[in-house]
Amino acid sequence: MKDKERLVDLAIIGGTGSDITLDNVEKIKIYTPYGSTSAAISIGDFKGKKVAYIPRHGIDHSIPPNKINFRANIWALKKIGTKFIISPSAVGSLNKTHSKGKFILIDQYIDRTKKRAETFYEGGQLCHIGQADPYCEYLNKLFFETGKDLEFDIQNGGVYICIEGPRFSTRAESKMFRQWGGDVVGMTNYPEVVLSAEKEICYCCIAMVTDLDVWAGECSECGIVEFAQRCEKCGGTVNKLSVNVPEVLETMVKSAENLKKLLELTIQKIDIKRDCLCHHSLTDALL
């Protein structure tokens, strides 16, 4: 890219219900070795910072999670100079303490995807990227502190189970994910996070709880419990809870204003000149 003014340090990859509005917008098309990005990249002003924005599922939300061209999106953002990626993502809760509307700053993932291209290094030079701590601690801390100041229900740290999609989980799968220690379940965080690491970009996932997935049931006496024929606590009847698209969208609409506040206040604090450990993730990773 020859136009220096188009270089942008900070990018947002918007998920379901997390579109943002930029001022003085310019849309650019980046051609990548991996095909087309989800949409043209919008570059504009967001509360005093120049920000790039990609709608992960496309402009009309027509790209299912298992068909997103993650490599093209991340490659294109690196091409325009991105050093920090913020990824708001709608997720289901795997713990009754994570209620609808809660924000969780993810610090670990478990990959349950099956068919996704997950590396830029497919031959010739090999890369064994470290993923012990995949997410940017600096960004997580900034968003957490802002969220607490705003008195939001927010948690710093959590395990994201990433499934292939586009279907939702079975009850058996949902219960298994809880046993694994998962906090939330979603469909888009992987391989976005590992591809960002291969491009030495800081990556932060703001998981927004939209539902309780399908492990949960509701007991008239005990409230939310793990679904079973009878409540393990009182022996009463447990009603099934399920997840559907209208529920997710309804919760996202309610959370959108809080997400906007969280982004507006935190983005102003990000030191785009900061040299983060994430910017050196390829050190000792290449063969």
In DSSP notation, 44-110 reads EEETTEEEEEEETTTTTT-S-GGG--HHHHHHHHHHTT--EEEEEEEEEESSTTS-TT-EEE--EEE
In DSSP notation, 232-256 reads TTT--BEEE----HHHHHHHHHHHH
Per-residue pLDDT at 216:
82
CA dist list (Å): 107 to 139, 206, 266, 280:
11, 10, 18, 18
Catalytic one of 107, 213, 271, 284: 213
Residue 87 structure tokens: 């990824």
Among all chains, which residue has been given the structure tokens 């998920």?
15
Catalytic one of 23, 149, 211, 271: 211
Per-residue pLDDT at 5:
46
pLDDT tens digits along 92-142: 999 989 999 999 999 999 999 999 999 999 988 999 999 999 999 999 999
Per-residue pLDDT at 18:
64
The count of residues in the chain is 287
Per-residue pLDDT at 239:
84
- Domains with residue ranges and CATH for the chain: 7-211+247-280 (3.40.50.1580)
Per-residue pLDDT at 6:
59
* Known catalytic residue at 107: no
Per-residue pLDDT at 17:
61
Identify the segments of the chain with pLDDT beneath 50.
1, 3-5
